[in-house]
């Protein structure tokens, strides 16, 4: 509107928030055609003797609406352009024409907005967070032809912990044509819980959902109109519906995932069960697929250095390469010069871009037995960021000098261009070291492989000096046939070549943490706290039952644990004690506050060596690039708070680990499903008040022995000693105990297996004698019986 200023001149003031440049221009022209009454400074009087104010063009009207902070009504448009009488009627006609032509949309009742605009108030669904920690949302209902605008949800003034798929009612504030800020008015609902299961068709066109989660209490019923034409045996995602109090709960199918017999169905179940993101945005895929080779530019040229990669036989991405040679410095006799070169992911993934947002959401790659869900699109993870042999690749490399005893003396980080001279497997490298050469290793055994092992021997001395926690926990590996089914399950072999790469990577990670501290850059540390006093006391009491002594109040350190593990290494208690010591440990996590790494006995440690598959490593790369001034792609000043990022990345790591374990268990159940009734050697790996968890020696498979299947008795559960003890029979089941079990059930839907203990004839007779007919004594009739929540009875 026009107002009269104190100096007697006219001025334009937009009625909305801020100035609208279109109307300001129009009113500049209009000021020559109006006079203002001196009796009323804020009243505008049109001079009838002059020409009328020109009617705005369609382009001016659209520009006004587009630059307004929200949707606008016809009255606001008319007021802004000083339209009166017949001009307002003409405005109504023009607005209808613009709406009919698709150039204008409705932003609410009797209000207008340009197509692709949000209404003033909208229901949003939370979809994640961006690089800077801002909550991102999408409109629950979107009528536009193109993709909806980006919406940032303000977290000020109240609750900040909204979860994925939570729905909120928000007031919208336009930031630009494709960006909005949303202020939460109230939360409408929590994210609808989704249940993964197998659809079993019924006779009425509907069916039932059999959940894949073994913790689910019951099946769910699906009406015909809610089945999405799913076929019996299909994997489906369902949402529960409000309904009956008694009987099966109703649900509706929201997504069909395919047949349960299809290859990789098990990992698909785990992906959905653990909410693993699998789809990249279209922009992220395009960004990856249009990436180009890294030029030499100002990089250090390492292409003539015989760097090699050493990975598993089934690896598809190679993100680290190594080289070692004797140090020529006479002051460092027996020392080594080492290079660890890591793929330069930061060259391709920049802070805040589409690739970066997708990578941060994932946090890390997820490795299932039959597939990988990568953190980055394959065009990068298996392409430009994979150090394939004989191809130029950008890298961030660290030169390290160690002494004969493996101590890190100094280091230097560079941005370089490298060319891998060979792709070796762990088995291939180990065989070459042991004298079994092939066409590849015979040319590099003396110049490349043997020096690597020489440096590794120095690292071993330093590892022993530090007293690194040496747990012996075997891992499983699976092999699949051409049909995608499990062919075999074996214990993973651990060679010196595995340990060699591990020590090279650990030292490079230490160098990265030291460098960032020296350069005063933020660092995402990999921290591992010492066990708490409560866990140490529980461990002390358990080990005491095995005649292994720890002083009460003993401060934990790896040396103590290694002494304990050494005592049982060649005994039947080895597996049990390793498991108990492992469970007493704290969980490693990502944190910008350094507390050291207890398990590795290191004062500082950061993940640097795998930016293809861990976002934490990408952060460390960016910080190093900024700290050393190594060019573009460094950490930005507006980078999100590292504390929040560390918490997020720790969660995604735990999510991935849970999904990977789940997949191993489910595939193992499928592998053993046709062996129900067979007996297996096993060890007790968990003792609870409701039964025993056992691990099979043959496959490493885990399953439950329910307490109801144990010899009939009352069983006391001792949580600290990890035992179940029969009060009458004296039967004792303890952690680590060697047992024989029979497979009774193998549920291929939930992945759960149920076993029974196989008793010897002597134990059967003992159980029969102690059973006493299986009757529970009446209250007060059992001498010495003490009621306890930890006492469970197995009845016939």
Same domain, 338 and 454: yes
Same domain, 185 and 334: no
Same domain, 379 and 433: yes
3-state secondary structure 139-167: ECCCCCCCCCCEEEEECCCCCCCCCCCCE
Same domain, 248 and 183: no
Q: What pLDDT, on a 0 to 100 scale, did the predictor assign at position 640?
A: 61
519-542 pLDDT, tens digit per residue, is: 999 999 999 999 988 889 888 888
| Over residues 782-786, mean pLDDT | 36
Same domain, 519 and 566: no
Q: Is 292 inside a domain boundary?
A: yes
Indicate the residue among 585, 608, 632 that finishes a domain.
Answer: 585
**If 0-12 CB within 10 Å is exposed, 13-18 middle and 19+ buried, where does residue 96 land?**
exposed
CA distances from 582 to 510, 536, 545, 550 (A): 23, 12, 18, 16
CA distances from 650 to 136, 375, 615, 754 (A): 20, 15, 11, 32
Query: How many structural domains compose the chain?
Result: 6
Same domain, 329 and 426: yes
pLDDT above 90: residue 503 = yes
292-321 pLDDT, tens digit per residue, is: 999 999 999 999 999 999 999 988 889 999
Same domain, 766 and 716: yes
Indicate the residue among 165, 189, 213 that finishes a domain.
Answer: 189
User: For residue 738, what are its two tokens?
Assistant: 């060697």
Please answer whether residues 326 and 255 qualify as being in contact, where contact means their C-beta atoms are separated by less than 8 angstroms: no
pLDDT above 50: residue 34 = no
Residue entry with tokens 């530090």:
466
pLDDT above 70: residue 291 = yes
Q: What pLDDT, on a 0 to 100 scale, did the predictor assign at position 314?
A: 86
Secondary structure (3-state) at 422: strand
Q: Tell me the residue range of the domain where 108 lies.
A: 2-113
Same domain, 426 and 521: yes
164-176 pLDDT, tens digit per residue, is: 677 888 888 888 7
Q: What global pTM score does this model have?
A: 0.73
Same domain, 174 and 222: no
Same domain, 225 and 332: no
Q: What is the side-by-side order of every strand in the sheet holding 713-718? A: 732-734, 723-726, 713-718, 791-794
544-568 pLDDT, tens digit per residue, is: 888 888 888 788 899 999 999 999 9
Q: What pLDDT, on a 0 to 100 scale, did the predictor assign at position 374?
A: 96
Same domain, 34 and 15: yes
Indicate the residue among 189, 224, 239 that finishes a domain.
Answer: 189
335-382 pLDDT, tens digit per residue, is: 999 999 999 999 999 998 999 999 999 999 999 998 999 999 999 999
CA distances from 255 to 483, 545, 548 (A): 25, 53, 55
Residue ranges of E strands in 218-307? 220-222, 234-240, 249-259, 300-301
691-727 pLDDT, tens digit per residue, is: 999 999 988 899 999 998 888 888 899 888 888 998 8
143-167 pLDDT, tens digit per residue, is: 565 678 889 888 665 445 676 677 8
Same domain, 602 and 464: yes
Q: Is 298 inside a domain boundary?
A: yes
Q: Is 555 inside a domain boundary?
A: yes
Burial 170-202 (b: 16+ CB within 10 A, else e): bebbbeeeeebebebeeeeeeeeebbbbbbbbe
């Amino acid at each position: 509107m026009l107002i009269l200023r104190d100096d007697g001149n006219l001025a334009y003031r937009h009625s909305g928030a801020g100035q609208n440049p279109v109307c300001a221009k129009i009113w500049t022209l209009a000021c020559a055609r109006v006079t203002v009454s001196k009796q009323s400074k804020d009243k505008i009087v049109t001079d009838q003797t002059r020409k009328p104010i020109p009617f705005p063009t369609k382009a001016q009207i659209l520009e006004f609406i587009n630059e307004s902070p929200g949707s606008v009504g016809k009255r606001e448009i008319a007021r802004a352009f000083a339209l009166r009488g017949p001009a307002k009627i003409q405005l109504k006609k023009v607005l209808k024409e613009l709406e009919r032509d698709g150039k204008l949309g409705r932003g609410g009742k009797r209000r207008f907005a340009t197509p692709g605009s949000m209404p003033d108030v909208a229901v949003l669904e939370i979809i994640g967070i961006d690089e800077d920690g801002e909550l991102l949302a999408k409109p629950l209902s979107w009528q536009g032809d193109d993709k909806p605008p980006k919406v940032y949800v303000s977290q000020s003034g109240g609750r900040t912990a909204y979860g994925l798929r939570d729905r909120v009612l928000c007031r919208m504030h336009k930031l630009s044509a494709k960006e909005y800020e949303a202020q939460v008015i109230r939360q409408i609902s929590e994210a609808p819980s989704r249940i993964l299961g197998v659809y079993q068709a019924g006779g009425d066109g509907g069916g039932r959902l059999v959940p894949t989660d073994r913790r689910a209490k019951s099946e769910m019923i699906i009406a015909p109109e809610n089945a999405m034409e799913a076929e019996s045996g299909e994997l489906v995602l369902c949402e529960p519906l409000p309904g009956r109090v008694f009987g099966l709960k109703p649900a509706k199918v929201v997504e069909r995932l395919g047949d349960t017999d299809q290859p990789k169905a098990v990992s698909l179940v785990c992906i959905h069960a653990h909410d693993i993101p699998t789809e990249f945005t279209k922009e992220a895929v395009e960004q990856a697929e249009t990436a180009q080779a890294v030029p030499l530019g100002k990089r250090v040229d390492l292409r003539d250095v015989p760097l090699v990669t050493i990975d598993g036989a089934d690896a598809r991405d190679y993100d680290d390469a190594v080289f070692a040679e004797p140090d020529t410095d006479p002051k460092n006799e027996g020392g080594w010069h080492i290079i660890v070169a890591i793929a330069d992911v930061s060259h391709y993934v920049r802070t805040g871009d589409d690739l970066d947002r997708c990578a941060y959401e994932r946090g890390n790659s997820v490795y299932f037995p039959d597939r990988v869900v990568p953190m980055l699109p394959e065009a990068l993870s298996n392409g430009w960021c994979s150090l394939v042999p004989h191809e130029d690749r950008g890298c961030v490399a660290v030169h390290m000098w160690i002494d004969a005893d493996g101590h890190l003396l100094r280091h230097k980080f560079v941005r370089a261009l490298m060319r891998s001279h060979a792709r070796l497997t762990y088995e291939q490298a180990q065989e070459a070291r042991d004298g079994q050469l092939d066409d590849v290793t015979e040319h590099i055994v003396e110049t490349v492989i043997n020096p690597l092992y020489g440096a590794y021997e120095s690292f071993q001395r330093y590892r022993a000096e530090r007293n690194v926690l040496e747990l012996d926990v075997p891992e499983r590996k699976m092999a699949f046939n051409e049909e995608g089914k499990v062919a075999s399950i074996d214990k993973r072999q651990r060679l010196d070549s595995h340990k060699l790469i591990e020590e090279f990577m650990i030292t490079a990670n230490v160098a990265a943490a030291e460098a960032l501290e020296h350069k005063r850059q933020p660092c995402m540390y990999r921290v591992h706290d010492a066990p708490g006093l409560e866990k140490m006391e529980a461990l002390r009491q358990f080990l005491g039952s095995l005649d292994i002594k720890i002083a009460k109040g003993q401060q934990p350190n790896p040396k103590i644990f290694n002494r304990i593990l050494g005592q049982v290494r060649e005994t039947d208690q080895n597996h049990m004690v390793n498991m108990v010591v492992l469970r007493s440990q704290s969980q490693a996590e990502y944190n910008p506050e350094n507390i050291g790494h207890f398990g590795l006995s290191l004062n500082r440690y950061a993940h640097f060596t795998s930016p293809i598959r861990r976002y934490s490593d990408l952060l460390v790369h960016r910080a190093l690039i900024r700290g050393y001034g190594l060019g573009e792609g460094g950490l930005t000043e507006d980078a999100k708070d590292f504390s929040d990022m560390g918490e997020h990345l720790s969660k995604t790591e735990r999510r991935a680990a849970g999904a990977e374990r789940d997949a191993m268990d489910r595939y193992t159940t499928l592998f053993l499903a046709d062996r129900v009734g067979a007996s297996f050697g096993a060890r007790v790996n968990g003792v609870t008040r409701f039964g025993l968890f056992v691990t099979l020696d043959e496959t490493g498979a885990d399953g439950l022995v329910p307490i109801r299947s144990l010899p009939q008795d009352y069983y006391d559960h001792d949580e600290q000693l990890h035992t179940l003890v029969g009060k009458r029979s004296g039967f004792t089941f303890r952690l680590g105990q060697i047992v024989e079990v029979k497979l009774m059930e193998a549920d291929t839907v939930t992945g759960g297996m149920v076993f029974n203990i196989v008793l010897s004839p002597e134990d059967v007779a003992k159980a029969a004698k102690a059973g006493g007919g299986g009757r529970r004594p009446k209250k007060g009739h059992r001498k010495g019986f003490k009621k306890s929540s930890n006492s469970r009875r197995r009845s016939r």
